[in-house]
Amino acid sequence: MNRIVKTFKRAFQKMLLKNWDTIYVFVDIHETSMKPTWTVEMSTEFYPKSLETLQLMSNHKNIKLILWSSSLPETNLKYKELFASHNIHFSAINSNPFEKSTVYADFDTKPYISVGLDDKFGFSFEEDWPALYDYFLFQLLEDYNPIIVDIF
């Protein structure tokens, strides 16, 4: 089984075990979901299966997508709009405002992340997008009947 699929399985298991209702998926743009330009020009080409998989995740009631990018703030806003035009909705950019710090955890300087999709985290767009697509389309409901998925 693919490593990133195992990571999602663990995140959903932890969510159910702790009686939470959300996993937070941080998604990088360049060299992860889209081909980079290595210029000030925005990327426009999605890697195979990234668009479809992100749409499935975006429509999943237990997932909040968070854009995770070192692009300039104004460019990140444009990327957020670009993704939204493809029915991919990010709840935040480079932060997780939904999880607050506690007496033992500082989520102001290190955001709470359930799963990180970033080439710097070891994400491989060639291997991981197709595996995640198959997982979200075919396996997730079978694994987690208590989770209701609105993917269509």
Homologous superfamily (CATH) of 3-143 is HAD superfamily/HAD-like (3.40.50.1000)
pTM reported for the whole predicted model = 0.91
What is the per-residue pLDDT across 1-33, written as a single tens digit (0 to 9) for each? 899 999 999 999 999 999 999 999 999 999 999
The number of angstroms, rounded, from the C-alpha of 96 to the middle of its chain's C-alpha atoms is 12
| C-beta of residue 2 within 8 angstroms of C-beta of residue 127 | yes
